Amino acid sequence: MTTCFVLASKSPARLRMLRSAGIEPVVIASGADESHLRGEDAVAMTARLSRLKAHSVIESGALEEYPADRMIVVACDSVLNLDGRILGKPHTAERARQWWRRM
């Protein structure tokens, strides 16, 4: 019996990375709320969102056809902490360039 490798992300970069390693995952975007919680630092936020995404995909029912003991779910998140501020997604190429220049 084969193992089902699940990527709980819609990130094209993460999918490319796995495929380049010879892994063809089942891709299921979590749809989890990625809001920053007041007082939460970048490390805690990244860990919380990764767990939230994994649980969201598992609990969605989308993986019911796969035996739980033959499934690996990879959920990740990345957070930019710049000058002590957590920044969300840049949403534009220009904003991303501005952030790169500030770093």
Active-site choice (33, 41, 69, 77): 77
According to the model, what pLDDT value does residue 44 have?
Answer: 93
Average pLDDT of the chain is 89
Indicate whether 37 pLDDT > 70.
Answer: yes
Q: Which residues contact 87 (CB under 8 A, 6 or more apart)?
A: 80, 81, 99
Residue 1: is its pLDDT beyond 70?
Answer: no
Which of these, 25, 3, 2, 31, lies nearest to 12 by C-alpha position?
Answer: 25
Is the predicted pLDDT of residue 23 greater than 80, yes or no? yes
Residue recorded with tokens 């710049």: 82
Residue, of 66 and 42, whose pLDDT is higher:
42
With a cut of 90, say whether residue 16 has pLDDT above it: yes
Phi, psi of 4 (to 5 degrees): -90, 120
69 noted as active-site residue:
no
pLDDT in tens, 64-75: 888 878 889 999
H-run or E-run covering 87: strand 85-87
CA distance 73 to 76: 10
